[in-house]
Chains A and B, each alone.
Chain A
Amino acid sequence: MGFSVPAAFIIISVAAFYAVGMVLTSVEPMLEDLLEIRDETNKEKMAQLSTKIEIAGIKTRGRAFRYDIKVKVINRGSTVLDPSKFDILIGGLNWPFDYSPKNKLYPLKSTIFRIEGLRGSGWHQIKIISENGAEAYGRYRIR
């Protein structure tokens, strides 16, 4: 027996220590990453919850065969928004738009969105969606 049992014990113990070390060194940074992402996601969720937009006014110009609209959107929440990442649906369709001023939409500030080349008479429904999914609805009429 002599040295056999201690030798086997040492070999297996060294392997076990090395394995535990390997697991810890690979798992720890992954857990840190996951916790960091969870924190970021929580912040993002908070930002989504504190985002509120409102359509403050809609101005139309033109007639049913071709008209343009200007939509004033106010940021009623506490999150700074990027108007270039908004979507504007009119009659269910996503329309390209221009906006001013060109800076970000800060709390209690407003941005004017312009959509040109629309058609159709009667009442129209508009939906505006911010980059983080906040929504606002409005209606306007073209005679």
Chain B
Amino acid sequence: MAGRSAAEIIFFVSTVIVATAVAGSFMQRTNEYSHIFEQQSEHIKEKISQEIKIVNDPTMIPKAKYEGAYYYVFYVKNIGKENILFAKNNVGVYIDGYRVDEKDLRMRRTPEILEGETTEVLVDSSLWLLKPGDHKIEIVLENGVRDSLEFIIE
């Protein structure tokens, strides 16, 4: 009789331990997913509320001298409702589908474009000598917000 009670207690305790472990692991997973969902939600919020526009006159892309070299100047305006983090290391610039390397880029008025403000993206024209004709620039923020502009070099 006493042996049977001891066995039942051991069985009960081990069942409680296993159930607690399962419940703990379940809670931990839920907590992790909740955290991931929170991060994703922040990312989506950021993406929805940010918007940029390349506002150049597409028939006249200016060139400017900066630190001894000539650069094509592209104007990027924050037309969204939130300030945008805008620096070389978190923005991708593509011309005719090719990514412009960070070292060929300069940016003015960074690291943030305030709401309604315009910043300048400078592309080294000695390395990116654009032939006369149609071209396309695309600027992509790290959260996927993007804009593109087709322009002509005459």
Contact = CB atoms under 8 A, between A and B. Distances in A.
Contacts of B18: 8
B60 A125 contact: yes
Interface residues of B, number: 44
Given A40-B49, A87-B75, A129 B11 contact: no
Interface stretch (A56-64, A66-74, A90-98, A102-110): A90-98
Contacts of B80: 44
Contact of A4 (B15, B24, B31, B41): B15
Interface in B36-92: 37-38, 41, 44-45, 48-49, 51, 53, 55-57, 59-62, 73, 75, 77, 79-81
Nearest to A4: B15
A34 B48 CA distance: 9
Given A16-B26, A23-B34, A44 B8 contact: no
B117 interface: yes
Contact of B30 (A5, A19, A92, A93): A19
Contacts, number: 118
B151 to A, nearest CB: 10
B20 interface: yes
Nearest to B33: A23
Contacts of A33: 41, 45
Interface string A73-99: 000000000100101010111100000
A12 to B, nearest CB: 5
Interface in B67-124: 73, 75, 77, 79-81, 115-118, 120
A85 B78 CA distance: 10
12 contacts: A4-B12, A8-B15, A11-B16, A12-B26, A16-B26, A30-B37, A30-B38, A34-B44, A34-B48, A92-B61, A93-B73, A137-B57
Given A4-B8, A23-B34, A92-B61, 12 more contacts: A11-B19, A12-B26, A15-B26, A23-B33, A26-B34, A30-B37, A34-B45, A44-B51, A87-B118, A92-B73, A93-B73, A94-B118
Interface of B: 8, 11-12, 15-16, 18-20, 22-24, 26-27, 30-31, 33-34, 37-38, 41, 44-45, 48-49, 51, 53, 55-57, 59-62, 73, 75, 77, 79-81, 115-118, 120
